[in-house]
Copies of this chain bind each other. A is one copy, B any other.
Amino acid sequence: MDKAGFIAAADRQCQQQGVKLTALRRQVLELVLAHEGVVKAYQVLADLQRERGIAAPPTVYRALDFLVEAGLLHKVDALNGYIVCSHVGCCHEGLILVCTACGSVNELEAAPALDTLRQQAAAQGFAIAQQNLLLTGLCQACRV
């Protein structure tokens, strides 16, 4: 999906959810979209400062939290970063593959795998929540 299309889809999704994609949030989303792969909060902060003069960390973190909550971004804990959700509007659980060599990210549907894991966990009385699955490895280009 191209950038404009993503923004449009984001608008629709926020409207559906009854939450507001404000100017600031949209600007932050655009800054994230402007990068390939994983983006760090402080990178977004720096970009935002270039565009608006000044900005403090909470401004960025709030917007990023909102976008994650709205299902538009995924937080990649292992890298302290964020990626654009490549399945906006259709999938709720992603299998996120991060290449440790080049940093590229690929998102697949994780629901089937998570169902299996859910059963395994349920056998221990553990109820796993809805979430993404992050795995690291080497992408096709970097496997050599």
> Contact residues of A with B, CB < 8 Å?
77-78, 95, 97, 99-100, 106, 108, 113, 116-117, 120-121, 124-129, 131, 133, 135-140, 143
Contact A129 B113 (CB under 8 A): no
> In whole angstroms, how far apart are the Cα atoms of A140 and B124 in the complex?
8
A78 contact from B77, B108, B128, Cβ within 8 A: B77
Chain B nearest Cβ from A63, distance in angstroms:
21
- Check B117–A143 contact: CB distance below 8 A: no
Most B Cβ at <10 Å: residue of A126, A133, A137, A138: A126
- Smallest CB–CB gap between A98 and chain B, Å? 9
Measured between C-beta atoms, what is the minimum distance from A124 to chain B in Å? 6
